[in-house]
Amino acid sequence: MEAGGLGWLLVPMRQLVSWGAAGAMVFGGVVPYIPQYRDIRRTQNAEGFSTYVCLVLLVANILRILFWFGRHFESPLLWQSIIMIVTMLLMLKLCTEVRVSNELNVKRRSFAAADSKDEEIKAPPKRSYLDFDLNYFWHWSKFTDYVQCVLTFTGVTGYITYLWLDSSLFVEMLGFLAVFTEAMLGVPQLYRNYQNRSTEGMSVKMVLMWTSGDTFKTVYFILNQAPFQFSICGLLQVFVDMAILLQVYLYSSYPQKPVSHTAHPASTKAL
């Protein structure tokens, strides 16, 4: 009787744990960006956050959704990709608005102190994703340019996937490319910290959440026997997260001389 009663309790408990794990997979990836988003809104400064992180996640999750059409995986992973794309677009919108606002403020301060010759200098032209200038790639003046770029990438890759969907080799390569791209998520931030010789402006909470979330995600992949690409690249992603945390320790314990640069051009390249 006790065994039967215990079994009756275990079934709903397992179901609750399963739902909880699925919910954590769907929304857990978004949580690390909440403190970073709030920090940027509060300080009106986006220089500590590399928007190439958004680029990496947008590409990775678009490719993952396309991979789903060739090889169905668990629904929580599909919904996670959809929600992550929306989140990254919101991050891009905020970063673009803050950067453009800061550039305008710098111009106003310069204009107030400028002489008659300086006042005649024209503002640099606004950049869009149709400029095809690699020096200004992913550093455009309007949020709509980012949206158009994402839609163009989705349309082109979606059409190619449609043509090659019957090829198992293409589908497996697409899946590997999707998760490998996501595994490189922390690399732009890692490189940015190295360039600045500092992690100032970067949300340490965000990186800690990256690490815990990626660890949970990798264990989830292994236990649920997700496609092998997911598990391998999940381990790689945890390694990159740990490298960023090591930077936080090194640059805080052994401060290094920041790289000298002019404020305005540097902020242009950074984002």
**Mean pLDDT, rounded, for 73-94:** 89
Q: Is the pLDDT of residue 177 over 70?
A: yes
pLDDT for 256 = 61
Whole-prediction pTM value? 0.69
Q: Region of 134 please: left (phi>0), alpha (psi -120 to 50) or beta.
A: alpha
CB contact at 8 A, 215 and 245: no
| Residue 126 falls inside a structural domain | no
| Residue 179 falls inside a structural domain | yes
d(C-alpha 237, C-alpha 181), whole Å:
10
Domain total for the chain?
1
Q: Note down the domain range covering 65.
A: 17-104+140-253
User: What stretches of the chain show up as alpha helix (H) in DSSP?
Assistant: 2-28, 33-43, 52-70, 75-113, 116-119, 143-164, 168-183, 187-196, 204-223, 228-253, 263-270
| Residue 81 falls inside a structural domain | yes
Most confident region among 57-66, 134-143, 172-181, 188-197 by mean pLDDT = 57-66
| Residue 124 falls inside a structural domain | no
pLDDT: is 28 or 86 the higher one? 86
Which pair of tokens denotes residue 177? Answer: 């490319």
| Residue 198 falls inside a structural domain | yes
CB contact at 8 A, 76 and 42: no
pLDDT for 59 = 94
**Mean pLDDT, rounded, for 128-149:** 81
For the chain, what percent of residues have pLDDT higher than 70? 74
* Residue 113: partners with Cβ closer than 8 Å, 6 or more residues away: none
d(C-alpha 81, C-alpha 78), whole Å:
5
**Mean pLDDT, rounded, for 175-190:** 83
| Residue 31 falls inside a structural domain | yes
**For 111-134, b where at least 16 C-beta lie within 10 A, e where not — what string?**
eeeeeeeeeeeeeeeebbbeeeee
| Residue 123 falls inside a structural domain | no
| Residue 7 falls inside a structural domain | no
